[in-house]
């Protein structure tokens, strides 16, 4: 079960990474990042089966952080949307070189 969990975790993490690489909508990219965090959580939970509750405690903190990030991240997305009227990352390239 552990092996399956860790493998699934790796797969979900990679899907999240692929999502970040392929998507251009800032919100969807951010959701992909959330998927990655979830994948990590699966690893933690699976490992906590071996080592005790520390892994689960960690998952709680990850969730908290995810929530905080979501708040700030979405605020940033709203801020950029005000300027650009778009959240397509292709269009957001004032800063380059």
Strand, coil or helix: what is 88?
strand
Residues from 5 through 34 that contact another protein (CB under 8 A): 5-8, 10-34
Cβ(28)–Cβ(19) under 8 Å?
yes
**Least Å distance between CB 94 and another protein?**
5
Residues from 30 through 59 that contact another protein (CB under 8 A): 30-59
Among residues 11, 26, 5, 33, the alpha carbon closest in space to that of 90 is found at 26
Query: How many residues sit close enough to another protein to count as binding (CB under 8 A)?
Result: 94
What are 10's two structure tokens? 């790796």
**Least Å distance between CB 85 and another protein?**
9
């Amino acid at each position: 079960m552990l092996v399956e969990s860790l493998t699934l975790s790796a797969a979900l993490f990679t899907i999240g990474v692929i999502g970040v690489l392929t998507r251009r909508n800032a919100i969807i990219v951010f959701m992909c990042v959330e998927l990655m965090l979830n994948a990590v959580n699966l690893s933690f939970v699976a490992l906590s089966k071996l080592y005790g509750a520390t892994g689960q405690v960690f998952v709680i903190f990850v969730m908290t952080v995810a929530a905080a990030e979501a708040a700030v991240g979405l605020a940033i997305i709203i801020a950029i949307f005000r300027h650009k009227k778009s959240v397509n990352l292709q269009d957001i390239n004032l800063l380059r070189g």
